[in-house]
Amino acid sequence: VHLNHLLNNAIEAINPYAIQKDVNINVHADQDIYVNADPNDIEIVMNNLISNAVKYNKDKGTVDVYLEKKKDEIEMIFQDTGIGMNEDEKSKLFTEFFRVKSEKTKKISGSGLGLSIVKRIIDLYNGQIRVDSKPDKGSTFFVKIPVK
């Protein structure tokens, strides 16, 4: 699958919401990156991570997406300037139905399933996902998938 193409679709899908929140999405991508995968799987991963980066951002915030081709793997990075998470929240992030409940998240809707599904898909491809996050600073999700 052509990652750049799928990324553009994912950004297009979230764009109305990004405009509403005045969140700017920047793409930093190597050209024409391909990976051996089911496009539906990659679409689910990208849609979830980009929608979270917009949803849990602050108004007028920024999302930076990086697509990089390494020797044996591709890396996708989704960085936001949003509400972030503390260590405890971070540790529960990939659990089914887990959602942070706070003053900042109470008006944001969701199922708490997105990241658990993302994690399962990444595992299926023998990839890795990890997150860096700081409360009120933002979060960065790093996804690596082997090329073959």
Least separation in angstroms between CB 17 and Mg ion: 12
- Measured in whole angstroms, how far is the alpha carbon of residue 115 from the centre of its chain? 9
Sites for ligand ADP among residues 104-123 (CB under 6 A): 105, 110-116
Inter-helix orientation angle 39-55/3-20, to 10°:
30
Verify binding: residue 46, ligand ADP, rule CB under 6 A: no
- Measured in whole angstroms, how far is the alpha carbon of residue 117 from the centre of its chain? 12
Verify binding: residue 65, ligand ADP, rule CB under 6 A: no
When CB distances are held under 5 to 8 angstroms depending on the partner's kind, the choice from Mg ion, ligand ADP, none that residue 100 binds is ligand ADP
Q: Which stretches does DSSP call E strand in 1-148?
A: 24-29, 62-69, 73-80, 128-134, 138-146
Residue reference for tokens 């980066």? 53
Q: What is the CA radius of gyration of the chain?
A: 15
The count of chain residues that interact with Mg ion, using the rule CB under 5 A, is 2
Question: Which residues on adjacent β-strands are paired with residue 25?
Answer: 63
Verify binding: residue 61, ligand ADP, rule CB under 6 A: no
Nearest to 126 by CA among 71, 74, 62: 74
Sites for Mg ion among residues 45-74 (CB under 5 A): 52
Verify binding: residue 127, ligand ADP, rule CB under 6 A: no
Verify binding: residue 135, ligand ADP, rule CB under 6 A: no
Q: Which is nearer to ligand ADP, 6 or 140 (CB)?
A: 140
Verify binding: residue 144, ligand ADP, rule CB under 6 A: no
Q: Enter the tokens of residue 85.
A: 């998470």
Binding site for ligand ADP (CB under 6 A): 48, 52-53, 56, 80, 82-85, 93, 98-100, 105, 110-116, 139
